[in-house]
Structure 1
Amino acid sequence: MAYPLSATKLQTYRQCPQAYYFKHERRLTVPSAFGSPTFGKAIHRALAQIYQDWSYADPLPPLQWFADCWQQHISELKESQIHEGWQALETYYHQYVAPQPMLRKPVGIEGKIQASFQVSNIEFALSGRYDRLDWLDDGLELIDYKTSKTVKPPEAIDVQLGLYYLALEQTYHHALKRLSLLYLRSNQCISYEVTPDHLEQIKDLIGDLALKLRSDQDWHPQEGSQCDRCGYRQYCSAQTPNPEPLPQTAKPPQKVQLALPFL
C-alpha cells in the first residue's frame, strides 16, 4: 500500500520532523483552533457553480448570473456575511470577468490531483486539491481562492508548488507554470511562477522522509516560530525540560510496505 502524502503533511515534516512523527506516525490529535468555515465554503461553492454551470454559448455571463449562483449558497449565512460575500463576488466579476472578451472554460473545477512517486523502494501517493485549473499558452495555472481577511501567503507555498508540479505533470502531461492566490475580500492576487527547481526540492524532501521511514531514525525536533502554536509541546524535549511520555492513545508507528522490484 502506498504511503499517503499531501502538501500539508510535507510542510509539517519540513518544519519539524518530530511534530510530523507525533501527528502522522503516532496519530496524536490536538484540538482545532478553527470553527466552521461556513462563509468560505459558500463563496467557493458559488464560484464553482459559476464556472461549472455556465453554458459558454455566450461569451460572458452577466452579473446577474453571479447573483443567481450566490443566492443558492447563502442559507446558512448571517445577513452581514451575505452582504460581504456578494461584495467580494461583484468585485471579482468587474476585475477578472467583465474586462475579458470571453469567459474561458477551466480545465477543472474543485478537483483532486494525484500522483505516485517512488524513493528507496517506498511508493508514495501524493494528493492535493485545487479550486480551479486553467490553460495557459505554455502550460497550466492553478487558481486558489482565499477568503481570509488578511493577505498572507501560506508557509507551505514552496511545498505546494513542487507537489502540484509533480502531480499535474503526471495527470495532464503539461507543466504547472503558475499558482495564483486570489484574495477575494481584498481583491488582491499573488502569483508564483513555477520552475523545475520546485520539482527538485519536493523530490529531495520526499527522499529525506523516505530514509527516515525506512531506517526508523530519530525524528529530531526542529525549533522555530511554529513552536509557539505547536500542540505537542508537552512531549517535546526541545520545549519542555521533562517531557511527558506519549499517551496510551498513541498508535504504533505505521509499517511501511516496500515496493520491491521484480528480478
Structure 2
Amino acid sequence: MAYPLSATKLITYKQCPQAYSFKYERGLSSPSAFGSPKFGNALHGALADIYKDWNYDYPLPSLDWFAVCWQKHTGELTPAQLHEGWMALQLYYEKYVAPLTMIRKPLGVEAKLKASFQVNNIEFSLSGRYDRLDFTDDGLELIDYKTSKTISPSDGIDLQLGLYYLVLEQTYQKALQKLSLIYLRQGQKITYDVTQEHHQQVRELIGDMALKLRADQDWKPEVGGHCDRCGYQRYCSAKSEKPEPLPEGTREGRQVQLSLGI
C-alpha cells in the first residue's frame, strides 16, 4: 500500500519530524488556528465558476459576469463580507482581466492531482489540489488564490514548488514553470519560477523520510520559530524537562510495506 504525501505533510516534516510523527503517524490532534472559511470559499467558488462556465467563443467576460458568479456563493456571508468580497473581485477584474484582449481557457479549475513514485523501495502516493492551472507560452503555470489580509511569504513554498513539479510532470508530461500567488484583497500577484533545485530538494526530503519509515528511527524534534505555534509542546523533550506521556489509545506508527524494484 502506497504511503500518502502532500505539500502540507512535507512542510510539517521539514519543520519538525517529531511533530510530523505525532500528527500523521501517531494520530494526535492539535488545536487549529483557522477561523471561518466561508469568505475564502465564496471567493474561490466564484472565481472557479468565472473560468469554468465562461463561453470561450467570446474573448472577455464582463464585470456583470463576475457579479453573476459571485452571487451564487454569497448566501452565508455577512454584509461586510459581501462588500469586501465584491471589492476583491472588482480589483481582480481590473488588474487581470480587463487589460487582456482575450482570456485563455485554463487546463483545469479547482482540481485535485495524484501521482506516485518509489524512493528507497517505498511506494509514495503524492496528492495536491490547485485553484487554476494555465498553459502559457512558457509552459504550465499554477495559480493559487489567497484571501489573507496581509501579504506574507508562503510557508514551505520551495517544497510546494517541488511537489507540484513531480505531480504535474507525471500527470501532463509537461514541467511546471511557475507558481503564482494572487492576493485577492490587495490585487497583488507574486510569481515563483520553478527550478530543478526545487525538484531535487523534494526528492531528497522524501528520501530522508523513507529511511526513517524503513528503519523505524526516532522522529527527532527540530527546535525553531514554529515551536510557538505547535500544539504538541507538552509531549516534546526539547520544550519540556518532563514531557507528558502520549495519551492512552495513541496508535503505534504505521507499518510501511516495501515495494521491491524489478
Q: What value does the CA root-mean-square deviation take over the aligned residues?
A: 0.8
Partner SS state of residue 133, structure 1: strand
Matched, 1:229 2:225: no
Shift of 1:139: 1.4
1:36 aligns with 2:30: no
Instruction: Indicate whether 1:181 and 2:178 are aligned.
Output: no
2:181 is aligned with what amino acid? L
Displacement of 1:3 after TM fit? Answer: 0.1
Q: Compute the displacement of 1:36 (Å).
A: 2.3
Aligned twin of 2:11: 11
**Structure 2 CA distance, aligned partners of 1:11 and 1:117?**
19
CA shift for structure 1 position 120: 1.1
Normalised by the size of structure 2, how large is the TM-score? 0.98
Q: Which runs of 5+ in 1 are unaligned?
A: none
Deviations 1:51-91 (A, max 9, x none): 00001111001110001110111000001100110000011
Q: Residue type of the partner of 1:209?
A: M
**1:31 & 1:223 partners in 2: Cα distance?**
19
CA drift of 1:153 comes to 2.2
State the distance in 2 between where 1:243 and 1:56 align: 60
Query: How big is the shift at 1:31?
Result: 2.1
Question: Could you tell me which residue of structure 1 aligns to residue 144 of structure 2?
Answer: 144
Q: Verify: 1:201 aligned to 2:189, yes or no.
A: no
Normalised by the length of structure 1, the TM-score is 0.98
Please give the alpha-carbon distance, in whole angstroms, between the structure 1 residues aligned to 2:180 and 2:61.
22
- Please name the residue that 1:132 is paired with: 132
Identity among equivalent positions (%) equals: 65
Q: After TM superposition, which residue ranges in structure 1, 4 or more long, deviate above 3 angstroms? A: none
Give the letter for the 1:90 counterpart.
Q
Deviation, structure 1 residue 41: 0.1
Distance in 2 (CA, whole Å) between partners of 1:138 and 1:90 is 28
Matched position secondary structure for 2:10? helix
**Rounded Cα–Cα distance in structure 1 between residues aligned with 2:142 and 2:261:** 35
The SS at the match of 1:257 is coil
- Structure 1: which amino acid aligns with 2:60? L
For the residue of structure 2 that corresponds to 1:19, the secondary structure is: helix
Partner of 2:65: 65
Structure 1: distance between partners of 2:73 and 2:247: 42
Q: 2:209, 2:67 → 1: CA distance?
A: 47
Q: Which residue of 1 aligns with 2:239?
A: 239
How far is 1:151 from its partner?
0.4
Q: Does 1:25 align with 2:25?
A: yes
Aligned to 2:90: 90
Q: Deviations over 1:158-204 (max 9, x none)?
A: 11000000000000011100000000001111110001111000000
Instruction: Tell me the number of residue pairs that the alignment of Structure 1 and Structure 2 aligns.
Output: 262
**What is aligned with 2:76?**
76
Q: Is the 8 A contact 1:39 1:81 kept in 2?
A: yes
The amino acid across from 2:33 in the alignment is A
Match for 1:205: what amino acid? Answer: L
Equivalent-residue separation in structure 2 for 1:59 and 1:94 (angstroms): 16
Answer yes or no: is the 8 Å Cα contact 1:28–1:249 preserved in 2.
no
